[in-house]
Amino acid sequence: MVTVQRSTVINAPIDEVWEILRDFNGHDRWHPAVAASVLDNEKQTDQVGAVRNFQLTSGERLREQLLSMSDKEHSFRYAIVESEIPLKNYVAEVSLKPVTDGNETYWNWLSKFETPRGQEKELAELVAEGVYEDGFNAIRSFVERTPSGSSSTSIDHPSLEGTAIKIDRHGGPEELYLAPVLASAPGAGEVRIRQTVIGVNYIDVYCRSGYFDLLKPPGIPGMEAVGIVESVGAGVRHLSVGQRVGYACPPVGAYASVRTMKAELVFPLPDHLDDETAAAGLLKGMSAEFLLHRVHSLKPGEVALVYAPAGGVGRILCQWANHLGATVIGATSSEEKARIARAAGAHHVILPDGASLEEQVSDLTKGHGADVIYDAVGKDSFSHSVAALASCGHLVSFGQASGDIGAYDIGSLASRSATISRPNFGHYTDTAGKIKAITDRLFSALEKRIISIEIGQKFPLSEASEAHRQLEGRHTTGSSILVPDELLKGRK
């Protein structure tokens, strides 16, 4: 039995060093001997039993399993379960201790293994120098270049080239233009993604025009995309390289083929959901989930009025509300869109004619009115929505496609004892816990076919301006997506 032990002192606090090392599948981002590493099973990167399958820069492949991990003791043990290097019964332990009042870290790396007779010295030196000492030096270099809490470039991943849609000033669709972009290497708590499909939403129009103060030019719009994890930074444990992921959250910057962002709100995609459907439906589906289950918990028998029922969010609202047992009324502008709304589950559809919206709602409900109204139109519809409410009804104003509703006298709401909500997407999706609760229900609804996502329009990323023109002109149905031009060329 061969025993190899090496120790060193790292000039960094123990928590900073531990954040890097406890990511069992993260050694390819800091160790110069490791070319690439992926997890073999569905366990998390810090979960006991996780198996990392990696290749050395010299070409050999190994598989190692995490045997134990203690955040309290700052230590973990692992074993080689398969190796192209003759290391038999290899078990190693990494342990950290604070020194000098916690400003430095003592790191001990110990292993025991068996080797073929005559190779003991050679392999012991390989482990001690090529693995342990090189690892010490790499971490030392990393923490010296990357102060705690920063997002500096890591040592093993240079910036990644791609393309993005940018604006230099707020304005119309003509302000959008295609330009080169660099995605920096992920720092602590970050992930870098090669994006495959990007979602288009009306909030992107608000950001581009300056109506919402979410994008300060120069910058890149967009809040929703899916893709493949290219690399992850220290401390990221719920994502791994090669994994399909998605997000729908601020900050803006999704209109790009590559992106580096905080990993907390990025989540894995289930196998049953393809990239295009996910990009078309994440933000809209997540919106529908909290509108129906959190802002107003829709109950069987209630009357729900949905504006723009042929659009991305509206179509999902109709499907889901129907499934929940509500009577669904859609309000739209054409018979073509009315057909889409009926196919999505709307029991009735209101079209512009001689009678007002509130009169038509009253006729359809025998004077009862709508218990809840999901209004994404804003200025042109608000007063009609209030008038169409049932007593103690709930108006959920979640969009302003026709403009700001302006000042409104709340005294007029007393005639209906109305409740008014103006939900903000960011407040329902600003933590990993909130996102998991929403996406768990959304993914289940998609898998069970309670709802479906219709992709009405697909554009190259370079034609984002046309996508915005069609969206603002109300010429779209369902969802619109953008595909990076590099990928479209690769498919030809």
Q: What is the Cα–Cα distance from 165 to 170, expressed in whole angstroms?
A: 13
Enter the tokens of residue 432. 């990993």
- Interval 330-339 mean pLDDT: 91
Is there a single domain that holds both residue 321 and residue 229?
A: no
Q: Which residue, 173, 166, 249, 164, is CA-closest to 205? A: 173
The chain-wide mean pLDDT, for the chain, equals 89
Is there a single domain that holds both residue 187 and residue 95?
A: no
In tens, the pLDDT along 411-421 reads 878 888 889 98
| Contact yes or no for 358/388 (Cβ under 8 A) | yes
Q: 463-491 b/e with 16+ CB inside 10 Å = b?
A: bbbebbbbbbebebbbbbbbbbeebeeee
* Domain total of the chain: 3
Is there a single domain that holds both residue 236 and residue 309?
A: no
| Residue where a domain terminates, one of 116, 145, 174 | 145
Is there a single domain that holds both residue 211 and residue 343?
A: no
Enter the tokens of residue 122. 């050679």
Q: What integer pLDDT is reported at residue 401 of this predicted model?
A: 63
Is there a single domain that holds both residue 472 and residue 391?
A: no
Is there a single domain that holds both residue 227 and residue 313?
A: no
Q: What integer pLDDT is reported at residue 491 of this predicted model?
A: 53
pLDDT band at 367 (very low <50, low <70, confident <90, very high): very high
Give the rounded percent of residues in the chain with a pLDDT score beyond 90: 63
Is there a single domain that holds both residue 250 and residue 359?
A: no
| Contact yes or no for 91/113 (Cβ under 8 A) | yes
In tens, the pLDDT along 250-309 reads 889 999 999 999 999 999 999 999 999 999 999 999 999 999 999 999 999 999 999 999
281: how many CB neighbours lie within 10 A of its CB? 30
Residue 292 belongs to a domain:
no
Residue 242 belongs to a domain:
yes
Is there a single domain that holds both residue 20 and residue 98?
A: yes
Q: What integer pLDDT is reported at residue 288 of this predicted model?
A: 96
In tens, the pLDDT along 176-233 reads 999 999 998 888 889 999 999 999 998 999 899 998 888 999 999 999 999 999 998 8
Q: Which residue, 30, 13, 18, is CA-closest to 153? A: 30
Residue 428 belongs to a domain:
no
- Per DSSP, helices labelled H in 254-393 are 275-290, 312-323, 335-343, 357-364, 382-388
In tens, the pLDDT along 125-176 reads 999 988 999 899 888 877 765 444 343 334 344 678 999 999 999 999 999 9
Is there a single domain that holds both residue 168 and residue 270?
A: yes
Range of the domain at 105: 2-145
CATH code, domain with 36: 3.30.530.20
